Amino acid sequence: MKVILNENIETLGHIGDIVKVAPGYARNYLLPKKLAVPATEKNAKALEHAKRQMAYKKNKALESAKMLAEKLGAQAVTLTHKCGEEGKLFGSVTNMEIAAFLKDKGFEIDRKKIVLEDAIKHTGDFTATVKIHPEVTATIKVTVSAA
């Protein structure tokens, strides 16, 4: 029996693949759990339509992510912290603080998407990477000064 997979199944294939399985496996497991649908002409056309829509949405998301990356690249983050001798901070600058600064500037960035190479524990200039999209990252400049 041929079925079209609705989800990735490790032993069979990926979403959208048309695979041949035993009739009992399809009837008793794949179809009731909505992991697959029968491979009819109607379902195949619906799958092609869904793939075209997903490709269009993916391209739009990628374009908007690239535009956001350009805007973020131009944005400089300036933070002030209390510090001790030789510019050593009391505590450290976290991705949460950077996210709060960007939110004040009008960028809605989740703090989990901001990646710091090392903990920022001194004053100076640093770089942070923002993972906007799986294919798009932006690098922002972070300047930490003494308060």
Write down the pLDDT at residue 87.
Answer: 85
Is-contact 120 126, C-beta < 8 A? yes
Write down the pLDDT at residue 97.
Answer: 93
Write down the pLDDT at residue 47.
Answer: 87
Does 34 score more than 90 pLDDT?
A: yes
What is the rounded distance in angstroms from the CA atom of residue 41 to the CA atom of residue 22?
A: 20
- For 75-133, how does the pLDDT look when each residue is reduced to its tens digit (9 = 90+)? 899 999 999 888 899 989 999 999 999 999 999 999 999 999 998 999 999 999 999 98
- For 1-29, how does the pLDDT look when each residue is reduced to its tens digit (9 = 90+)? 999 999 888 889 988 889 999 999 999 99
Cα 16 to chain center, whole Å?
Answer: 22
Does 60 score more than 90 pLDDT?
A: yes
Spell out the domains of the chain, with CATH numbers in brackets: 2-64 (3.40.5.10), 65-146 (3.10.430.100)
Cα 139 to chain center, whole Å?
Answer: 15
Write down the pLDDT at residue 147.
Answer: 81
